Structure 1
Amino acid sequence: MTIHTVRQGDTVWKIANMYQVPISTIMQVNGLMSGALVPGLHLYIPDNRLPERFYQVKAGDTLSQFAETFASTVPLILAANPGIAPNELPVGGHLVIPTNQRYTMQTLVFMDAYAGTPYTEKLRELAGSITYLAVFTYSFTRAGDLIEAEDEEILAACRENNIRPLMVMSNYEENNFSAELAAAILHAEPRTVLINNIAETIEEKGYAGVSIDFEFVPPERRQDFTAFLKELKQKLGSRILQINAHAKTDDFPENRLTGFLDYAAIGEIADITAVMTIDYGYAAGPPDPIAPIWWVEEVLNYATSQISSRKLMMAMSLYGYDWTLPVQAETNAEMISVLDAQNRAIASGVPIQYDERAQSPHYRYRRGQAEHAVFFEDIQSVRAKYQLLQEYNLLGTTYWRLRFSFPQNWAYVERNIQVEK
């Protein structure tokens, strides 16, 4: 694969000729609405090169070992890593390995559940790249009774397309995560009722398991939350228990957001734990990268010290944020798809900047009298995240969420990743 950074004067025709790739292919995989381009735009060029894998060099490694392990060749590896000294591989250095032996991983995509959803066709289109579909969201009353999602159409689509559905269970109340609801359900009696209701419903509806998305749980309920997960897993038996955990780089049990999460205990109990590495920049905060790569690596360093990497997923965003400036305390940024973020820059004719340290694209534009700041992902930034995922040997990734269009990502996955089904 190739990533082309658009420069002043580039046209789609010129780029297509440069790489000998049809114009229609470039436009389709990058979601271009027209031939218009802006400087700084990263385009995914699906050329005839081999799929790529990533590896971080360890002491004693040799290129011949890589060639044998990854079914590649030394000349191919050298060509993909210009400037590397073949007999002096830098320990800790990052290598690209061209190979048909693609990295195998699991994926989990969140999808909103409601009757008449227009996204089931998109689900069918992407089915080959989806292991689990997390149906968002079921909730519950303070007594432990379920508040069900309208999931019939989605479950039917999962059955038709060999996708394993997971019931998302969250402390969602009146369109927000409720600390009070979480605190109430974690008492012994109502949580037992909830666990029984979850087990009964997933059996009845054919779910492969449950995805827990509890947020803002009071930190003093840490032990109760862990007990809830342990009891739930015992009830589920062989069905999957997947946990979505706020990202953190250390354990502070008093922390209002992450204190209730005992990573080590959760890692022992759950089949899959996904760390939410998509919240560095958030809607209610200042304009910032959603998932700067240096922060994601700090989170993974801590997470893999507590949880087996083969039970661990990292979260990736299919969205960006558009902030109206100056940011007002009472307003949130608009959450938009990566494709919308890209095309707003093109429609506004503004160049896209790229923060190399964060590995994050961003730009500013004007709408009416207001200035806007946009941070989002693109093919360059997600490639850096797939590199990190492979170097940490993670089980896979979660995506928030299906309705957000990011064609570059799915084209990359289809070409370079073996998604476990």
Structure 2
Amino acid sequence: MQIHVIGPNQSLFGIAQAYSTTVNDLIEANDLPNPNDLVQGQALVIPIIGRFYWVQSGDSLYSVGRKFGISAQQLATVNRIPLNRPLSIGMRLYIPPRPKRNAEINAYVEPRGNSVAPALEASAREAAPYLTYLAPFSFQALRDGSLKEPLLNNFPAIARANKNTLMMVITNQENDQFNAELGHILLTNIEIQNRFLNTIVSTAKKYGFRDIHFDFEFLRPTDREAYNRFLRRARDRFKREGWLISTALAPKTSATQKGEWYEAHDYRAHGEIVDFVVIMTYEWGYSGGPAMAVSPIDQVRKVLTYALTEMPGQKIMMGQNLYGYDWTLPFVQGTVARAVSPQQAIELAATHNVPILYDSKAQAPHFNYTGAQGKRHEVWFEDARSIQAKFDLIKELNLRGISYWKLGLSFPQNWLLIVENFNVVKR
């Protein structure tokens, strides 16, 4: 499998011929929203085993082999050419697939309102074969130690059918907002904390949760050690049940980083206490801020590089967005960008006949267009190239895996590339 970026005047028929595949296979693999109106700069996943490479000036079997991590002899054998044969520019070489490594994959799913939308449940069913964990968001802790349950609908059954570990996400949210006072009560009042842990255990048994995941945010800095102590108590309690324990962490780049979202999250302590962490490496570009990449890889790398100084890579799941944003320009504080799926972003570019650009520093696609009312827009989203760059980073840093926020926005290329890069662990 490989990624092809559409150039000027290219057609699906010509691309299919170049890669020895079919137009229908290209449409199906990419769930193309615009098969008759391709966009220059649009990335396609080519659904073939291995990949092809077209020889460039100065190439040899040895240099091409080094590029793709295989020997010149293997390259010669696979392509049925003599080892020392000079290569002609434009010659097509077949590159066999490389071995895959194991990885754990999580995805949050967030029902909203009074019922689970059929499309959201369908999204969970489609993603579940590619997941280790399925994480309904969220059980909201109450001040008396009880829990407000999310809409679970058929999510436990979907997890069982696909051998997903059902992740019980617990938050310190009140009215869907993270609350420092609520967190303080749960972490410092032992009577309420005991009731809280008992409620978690009984609820987890009721639904079949096997990983207990704390997403406590906006905590007071003074509750940092209280949070660590609570996690140790929770770990000891859950281990008796044979369950995992995990946490979500804000994206820090140092142990002394200031800010209300960061100071109570002790990377070193969490790395020692819990089975794994999800680091929320996204939302640099966010709905209430100026237009930019949601998860620029240079910033993601900085966070993960710091995290590796505090805990082993096998305890780290990189957070990743499954969405982008459409901002109205010029950005005005107080305005909110519209969330778009990768598929919706491609449709927008096709509708407005604008090319998709790619930022090599952020490793993210983007484009601008003028809307119906004459207003300028800027869109940043994810595509096959940007997600492959994240997968390469996971492998480079030897991380546990990746965690997606959140299901419900279509990105079919992501799931194809998971299969290409990893053996998904099932627990």
Structure 1 counterpart of 2:406, from 395, 401, 417 = 401
**Deviation readout 1:236-270 (Å, 9 max, x if unpaired):** 11311111111111112642211111000001111
Following the alignment from structure 1 to structure 2, what is the Cα–Cα distance between the partners of residues 46 and 373? 30
Residues 1:213 and 2:215 aligned together: yes
Contact preservation (8 Å) 1:32, 1:343 = no
State the match for 1:83 in structure 2.
none
CA 1:344–1:180 in 2, change beyond 3 Å: closer, same or farther? farther
Following the alignment from structure 2 to structure 1, what is the Cα–Cα distance between the partners of residues 286 and 270? 25
**Deviation readout 1:25-48 (Å, 9 max, x if unpaired):** 212222312321111111111223
The higher radius of gyration belongs to 2
Contact preservation (8 Å) 2:358, 2:365 = yes
Contact preservation (8 Å) 2:139, 2:149 = yes
**Deviation readout 1:348-399 (Å, 9 max, x if unpaired):** 2111111111111111112222211111111111111111100111111101
Following the alignment from structure 1 to structure 2, what is the Cα–Cα distance between the partners of residues 270 and 174? 28
Contact preservation (8 Å) 1:219, 1:254 = no
Structure 2 counterpart of 1:413, from 397, 409, 418 = 418
Contact preservation (8 Å) 2:211, 2:243 = yes
SS at match of 2:204: helix
Residues 1:106 and 2:104 aligned together: yes
State the match for 2:316 in structure 1.
312
Structure 1 counterpart of 2:266, from 262, 268, 272 = 262
Gaps of 5+ in 1: 52-62, 81-96
Contact preservation (8 Å) 2:369, 2:378 = yes
Following the alignment from structure 1 to structure 2, what is the Cα–Cα distance between the partners of residues 246 and 111? 19
Matched AA of 2:408: R
Following the alignment from structure 1 to structure 2, what is the Cα–Cα distance between the partners of residues 341 and 262? 37
SS at match of 2:16: helix
CA-CA distance at 1:76 after TM superposition: 5.2
Contact preservation (8 Å) 2:128, 2:158 = no
CA-CA distance at 1:274 after TM superposition: 1.2
Contact preservation (8 Å) 1:253, 1:260 = no
Matched AA of 1:348: H
Following the alignment from structure 1 to structure 2, what is the Cα–Cα distance between the partners of residues 176 and 285? 18
Matched AA of 1:202: A
CA 1:253–1:357 in 2, change beyond 3 Å: closer, same or farther? closer
Q: How does 1:226-241 map to 2 (within 5 A)?
A: 226-237=228-239, 238-241=242-245
CA 1:280–1:170 in 2, change beyond 3 Å: closer, same or farther? same
Following the alignment from structure 2 to structure 1, what is the Cα–Cα distance between the partners of residues 304 and 40? 33
Contact preservation (8 Å) 1:220, 1:254 = no
Q: How does 1:151-166 map to 2 (within 5 A)?
A: 151-166=152-167
CA-CA distance at 1:101 after TM superposition: 2.5
Q: How does 1:20-419 map to 2 (within 5 A)?
A: 20-33=20-33, 34-49=35-50, 73-75=71-73, 99=97, 101-113=99-111, 115-118=115-118, 119-189=120-190, 190-237=192-239, 238-252=242-256, 254-369=258-373, 370-419=375-424
Following the alignment from structure 2 to structure 1, what is the Cα–Cα distance between the partners of residues 413 and 74? 25
Gaps of 5+ in 2: 53-63, 79-94
Matched AA of 1:377: E
CA 1:324–1:66 in 2, change beyond 3 Å: closer, same or farther? closer
SS at match of 2:105: strand
**Deviation readout 1:214-239 (Å, 9 max, x if unpaired):** 22112221111112211111111131
Following the alignment from structure 2 to structure 1, what is the Cα–Cα distance between the partners of residues 41 and 307? 33
Matched AA of 2:270: I
Of 7-16 and 311-320, deviating more is 7-16
SS at match of 1:186: helix
CA 1:27–1:267 in 2, change beyond 3 Å: closer, same or farther? same
CA 1:75–1:365 in 2, change beyond 3 Å: closer, same or farther? farther
Matched AA of 1:381: S
Of 175-184 and 315-324, deviating more is 175-184
CA-CA distance at 1:100 after TM superposition: 5.1
Name the TM-score, length of structure 2 as normaliser: 0.86
Name the TM-score, length of structure 1 as normaliser: 0.87
CA 1:22–1:198 in 2, change beyond 3 Å: closer, same or farther? same
CA-CA distance at 1:401 after TM superposition: 1.1
Q: CA-atom RMSD, angstroms? A: 2.5
CA-CA distance at 1:65 after TM superposition: 12
CA-CA distance at 1:335 after TM superposition: 1.7
Contact preservation (8 Å) 1:171, 1:181 = yes
Following the alignment from structure 2 to structure 1, what is the Cα–Cα distance between the partners of residues 179 and 335? 20
Contact preservation (8 Å) 2:128, 2:134 = no
SS at match of 1:235: helix
Residues matched between the structures, number: 391
State the match for 1:57 in structure 2.
none
Following the alignment from structure 2 to structure 1, what is the Cα–Cα distance between the partners of residues 272 and 75? 38
Following the alignment from structure 1 to structure 2, what is the Cα–Cα distance between the partners of residues 392 and 79? 32
